[in-house]
Amino acid sequence: MAKLKANRTSWDLTLLFKSENDTEIQKLRKITEKKTSQFVKKWKNRDDYLKKPKVLLAALSEYEDWRKNFDPKGGEHYYYSLKTSQDQNAPKLKAKYNKSIEFVKKMQNQIQFFELRLAKIDPRQQSQFLNYKPLMPYKHFLERLFLQAKHLLTEPEEKIMNLKSPVAHDNWTKMTSGFLSKEERMILNEKRRKDKKSFSDILGLMGSRNKRVRNSAANAFNDILASHTDTAEHELNAVLQNKKIDDGLRNYERADTDRHISDDVDTDTVDTLVSSVSSHFDVAMHHYKLKAKLLGVKKLEYHERLVEYGKIEAKYSYKDAVSIIESVYKNLDKDFSNLFSDFVNEGRVDVYPRSGKRSGAFTAYTLLSQPTFLLLNWTNMLKDVLTFAHELGHGINFELIRRKQNALNFGTPRSTAEVASTFMEDFVFQELLKRADKETRLALMVNKLDEDVKTIFRQIALYNFETELHKTFRERGYLSKEEIGKTFQKHMDSYMGPYVLQSPGSENWWVHWQHIRFFFYVYSYAGGLLISKTMQAEVKKDSKFIGAVKEFLSVGLSESPKDSFKKLGIDISKKDFWEKGIAEVETLLKETNALAKNLGKI
């Protein structure tokens, strides 16, 4: 394995274009236009590929080549999306990025006929195509399209649906979030003086270790939300109405059916996940009972649930993290450490914060023919190490898929998108635990439980809230802000239990929660982490199981998650599968309780 070059800390975007000279970019644009035009000219005005498997194979092969090398989501669009992430305040970059979006839409509008028409292949002929051996590499791609077919409208109608989406949905949600983002309030600081803070700053300060600061932030936050409840009431009802209309036009039986189809997961499987987690909400309640004791309070205020326990003094340089993660990955599988070294050595990790750079962290990928990049904002904190491991999980997932799949199968369904990331993150977490003293270990374990509870139990409680929200709206036709707030508090209380106060103002936290504006995807966070935990447990029992994990992470979109797991002898539609992952959280909770008692903390 090549020596790790931890001194390479910025993206090398020459991997996409050799220079920032527009000539190279314009050249690719012209080639893309030409290739798109050639495909449209060859296939748009004929229908033999919809009737003859052999002709369809030729058409799909050409379409796959287009998706691999000329899909406009790659190229200049990918390049400028990365460049603007590095500098969000550069007007020239923004202009070029916006132009790239226009180009993407133009090309996609020209070529969208192909998938729409494939989806409409006569159901009597579908089995003929699915059983034609040369089409096997594209079998699940076709299966997904055929499954969507009965919910698709005509080509002109689909264009109308696309055109109405911004005004019937996007503009409403942007309105509320835009109003919130402009808000500022005076907040008490640690010196007991008041500073003016933005809405995003106030959000962060509610997690302050200083109780005066976090309470002041919470009061301001609740005041902001209360001032926008009338607007949010109208906005959310408009969004729910639009969803009801769309579902009616597309003949969806349930409000969450379209999410399950797009995520390539059976509704029965999601229902089993939701019921399994809901029946174990007591795990979250016991965690909050422990945390209240550790923080020396009878009950946690609503906004205090995620206040960091303990003080983690250790600092980790980027170089330290590279060494730790490389060691963990090497123990898991040499292939993982090799892929990791590629990210580090090839300039595919942008490490440090700087003026204008996008906050947070993400993994960026696009075409099968283009590399994956990771963005971090390194501050030498322990959480940076875990964030790095998390994003690397995504990155390694895409690299494994890239090796085995064609361009039409490149990607992950949302239902399992978080498996690789949490799998890698948790193994690095275990390594950090081994290196920590007892006090630090307790802090790590409590804070890890915070994240697990938030990711698993809170997200399923939110899914239950969404389900009731849509059901009640469709029965009544309109929901007041008071009704929405009561329903929201009911479901939050269902998993938090008696050791977290549903404090005054918490009934309005739905106002800023963007998840419920984009419908039913939060189950995937819980599902992904529980799948990951089950796999971790298997690897700990038998290190050879890592081969099965790699196989699963290589599947991409070529099989449904359910079929992928069947090959491993696992049935994710059964309750006992999900309970294995929940049992891992329970084990961590028991160990944390025992350590807290051993240290005399409770």
Give pLDDT tens digits for 410-454.
999 988 999 999 999 999 999 999 999 999 999 999 999 999 999
Amino acid identity for residue 129 in this structure: F
Specify the pLDDT at position 215.
93
Residues lower than pLDDT 70 in the chain: 1-2
Instruction: Tell me if 196 sits within 8 A of 479, measured CB to CB.
Output: no
- Residue 128 CB burial class (10 angstroms; 0-12, 13-18, ≥19): middle
Q: DSSP 3-state assignment of 513?
A: coil
Q: What are phi and psi of 186, to 5 degrees?
A: -85, 125
* Domains in the chain: boundaries: 13-165, 166-248
* Sheet bearing 373-375, strands edge to edge: 349-350, 373-375, 362-364
Residue environment code for 156-190, b if the CB has 16+ CB neighbours within 10 A, otherwise e = eeeeeeeeeeeebbeebbeebbebbeebebebbbe
Which strand (E) or helix (H) includes residue 300? none
Cα 289 to Cα 298: distance, rounded to the nearest angstrom: 9
Q: Quick one: DSSP state of residue 436?
A: S
Q: Quick one: DSSP state of residue 352?
A: S
Specify the pLDDT at position 281.
98
Tokens describing residue 569: 């002898």
Alpha-carbon separation of residue 473 from 92, 241, 255, 418, 480 (angstroms)? 45, 8, 11, 31, 10
DSSP β-bridge partners for residue 269: none
Alpha-carbon separation of residue 242 from 21, 22, 246, 459 (angstroms)? 44, 42, 6, 24
Tokens describing residue 367: 């075409």
Instruction: Tell me if 366 sits within 8 A of 74, measured CB to CB.
Output: yes
Q: Quick one: DSSP state of residue 535?
A: H
Alpha-carbon separation of residue 472 from 177, 242, 244, 478 (angstroms)? 24, 15, 12, 9
Specify the pLDDT at position 192.
80
Q: Quick one: residue 377, left, alpha or beta (phi over 0 = left, psi -120 to 50 = alpha)?
A: beta
Map tokens 């630090």 to a residue. Answer: 440
pTM of the model: 0.90
Specify the pLDDT at position 498.
97
The C-alpha R_g of the chain, in whole angstroms, comes to 25
Cα 246 to Cα 502: distance, rounded to the nearest angstrom: 34
Cα 303 to Cα 301: distance, rounded to the nearest angstrom: 5
Q: DSSP 3-state assignment of 557?
A: coil
Nearest Cα to Cα of residue 422 among 398, 391, 454: 391
Distance between first and last Cα of the chain: 47
Parallel, antiparallel or unpaired: strands 349-350 and 373-375 = parallel
- Whats the size of the chain, residue-wise? 602
Instruction: Tell me if 69 sits within 8 A of 369, measured CB to CB.
Output: yes
Q: Which CATH architecture has domain 13-165?
A: Up-down Bundle (1.20)
Cα 476 to Cα 481: distance, rounded to the nearest angstrom: 14
Tokens describing residue 548: 């099965």
